[in-house]
Amino acid sequence: MKRFWAIALTSSLVVLAGCHSFKKENVEPPTPLDKKFEPTLKVDRVWKSSIGDGAAESGVRMRPVVSDGVLYAASTDGKIAAFDASTGKKLWSKSTRQHGWFGWGDSKREDARFSGGPGASGDLVAIGTLDGHLYGINAKDGERRWAAEVSSEVITAPVIVGDLVVIRCNDGRVYGIDGKTGERRWVYDQSQVPLLSLRGNGRLLVANGVVFFGSDAGKLVALRLDNGEKLWEQTLATGEGRTEIDRLSDADGALVLDGSTLYGSAYHGQLTAIDGPSGRPLWNHALSTFTSLDVRGNAVFGVDDVGQVVAYDKSGGANIWKQDALKYRWPTGPAAQGNYVVVGDLDGHIHWLDGSNGKIVARERLSKKAIRAQPLVVGDTVYVEDVEGHIGAYRIPAN
């Protein structure tokens, strides 16, 4: 069944779809940045580079990945590259426009449109495409190893666990693919995908032999890693309301695992803490969001559906703080970097917030283009990518 997406549901979604005109009656203008802002935290940009056209106008959240000191990034115009994560030096790059890289001799055939960002582990990089393919790539030089066909576009990064690649397709199916051959081992095909849905899928979370993901029907689902069998599911949003828009309940953000507790959220839903082994809910708190969460210390961080950055006590869900200075600037999902929280916004700014009180303490600008993907924190460095493929690496000095 053909799937439909809401492209102008609320002011937030209009902006996220790339419309930056705020003259329409139903679109809230972004909160202006404080021109007198004085940073109290020093942030160094370590390097900056780019990868193709990035996500371009696909609406997907292209995010790099770091494995063994190498950053891998890709773009929807068919480019993939490896960079030294500490210096930004390009180690190799490939393009599907290069004759024969995919074994295509017919120049009339369509180039692969990478999407969702790569997954990487050991000597394997895996990445999906907008036309329903998954590619296994040699991490050392970018040469293709295998190709697998799946049921629909792949708009979130694969996860590699041992010799298994797990991917989620936009039609709700989840696949376990052999990382050595590209052959299908199992498929989970029980998700209910509403006809009206937000554009996006949350990243898969794999831990302790279980695959966790949030569905477009507002469910948190747990599958066995070895065979794809469903273990349990829990509701994050009920999808209630008078209209189809009111009933949107997508869980499009990444889940977070802290110890044995899972934290998930959904649009028109709630932030829910769940016992991972049993699926039993521990507590919930109202939070409508379409971005990812993060956890650090005693707090769960998120961004609500009007762009306010929020923090909740992870043991019971009590509010810790709310920062409304980025309201309608459509921040990315937050990423915890040490004692701080990092978000990107709709015109290329990166903001650092104090994790204890939500105060904005630093600001940098990667570009003048929207940042949609959650920043990636690895060690003492945060990597940020905008929709046109600009990538920046930032570090907070030790002193």
CA distances from 250 to 35, 119, 199, 264 (A): 36, 23, 9, 11
Please answer whether residues 372 and 61 qualify as being in contact, where contact means their C-beta atoms are separated by less than 8 angstroms: yes
* Per-chain mean pLDDT for the chain: 85
- Rounded distance, CA 64 to CA 8, Å? 28
Higher pLDDT, 263 or 203: 263
Q: Interior CA angle at 397 toward 393 and 399, to 5°? A: 175
Mean pLDDT for the stretch of residues 93-97:
85
Q: Are 80 and 142 in contact (CB under 8 A)?
A: yes
Lowest mean pLDDT among 47-61, 81-95, 306-320: 47-61
pTM of the model as a whole: 0.88
Question: Given this model, what pLDDT does residue 99 score?
Answer: 42
CA–CA dist 145, 270 (Å, integer):
42
Rounded Cα–Cα distance for residues 397 and 244 (Å): 48
Predicted local confidence at residue 108, as pLDDT:
41
Residue 111 pLDDT grade (very low, low, confident, very high; cuts 50, 70, 90): low
pLDDT band at 234 (very low <50, low <70, confident <90, very high): confident
In this predicted structure, the answer to whether residue 100 has a pLDDT above a threshold of 50 is no
Q: How confident is the model at residue 200 (pLDDT cuts 50, 70, 90)?
A: low
- What integer pLDDT is reported at residue 217 of this predicted model? 64
Neighbour count for residue 183 (Cβ, 10 Å):
10
Give the separation between CA 153 and CA 201, rounded to whole angstroms: 11
- pLDDT, mean of residues 258-267: 87
Q: 62-199: which CATH architecture?
A: 7 Propeller (2.130)
Q: Token digits for 308?
A: 């306010």
Are 154 and 134 in contact, with CB atoms under 8 Å apart? yes
Instruction: Give the Cα separation of 340 and 350 in Å (integer).
Output: 12
pLDDT at 265: 84
Structure tokens at 54: 């990035």
Of 190, 195, 314, the residue nearest 245 (C-alpha): 195
> Is residue 239 within 8 Å of 218, Cβ to Cβ?
yes
Q: Which two tokens stand for residue 243?
A: 């209209």
**Phi and psi (nearest 5°) for 92?**
-165, 160
Question: What mean pLDDT comes out for the span 220-248?
Answer: 75
pLDDT score of 18 more than 90: no
Q: What is the pLDDT of residues 322-375, one digit of tens each?
A: 999 999 999 999 999 999 999 999 999 999 999 999 999 999 999 999 999 999
Does 276 have pLDDT greater than 60? yes
Question: Residue 135 in contact with residue 147, Cβ under 8 Å?
Answer: yes
Residue 320: which H helix or E strand, with range? strand 319-323
Strands (E), 88-216: 90-95, 114-121, 124-129, 133-138, 144-149, 159-161, 164-168, 174-178, 184-188, 196-197, 205-207, 210-214
Query: What span, in angstroms and rounded, lies between the C-alpha atoms of 399 and 390?
Result: 28
* 288 vs 247, residue with greater confidence: 288
Between 53 and 60, the higher pLDDT residue = 53
